[in-house]
Amino acid sequence: MSKQKNARRVADNEAMAKVRMLRTSPQKLNLVAQMIRGKKVDKALTDLTFSNKRIAADVKKCLQSAIANAENNHNLDVDELIVAEAYVGKNMTLKRGRPRARGRFGKILKPFSELTILVRQNEEQA
């Protein structure tokens, strides 16, 4: 007797990818995630390729992972995929510091964040 198979966390026409420990603040990462929300995946990939933001390369890698999950694990058509959701969360923060004048200590916070991208197959064209 084996355990029951876990139910899928997303719908049948969706696929997800998540990346943790991105070395940027959630506020900066959300600016890049906002660029691709609701777009077709090929347009989103081009926007990320030509973006000037440093973190755009990591967001592109996560989007490519979501596309690969949709194609290989869930048999979805890549040409009909759109970025349904792209949301950002906080992760840990490294606490660093620097000595300042008169015996004080300047606090330096180095935040990490995480990104979740959900792609959905567009049912209107099918």
- Kind and range of the H or E run holding 68: helix 56-72
Measured CA angle at 85 (ends 65, 89), to 5 deg: 85
pLDDT at residue 85 above 70?
yes
d(CA 10, CA 13): 8
Of the listed ranges 42-46, 77-81, 88-92, 122-126, the least confidently predicted one is 122-126
d(CA 99, CA 61): 38
Arithmetic mean of pLDDT, 1-29: 92
Share of the chain above pLDDT 70, in %: 98
- How high is the pLDDT of residue 8? 84
More confident residue, 7 or 108: 108
- How high is the pLDDT of residue 123? 74
How would residue 126 be classed by pLDDT, with cut points 50, 70 and 90? Answer: very low
d(CA 40, CA 55): 20
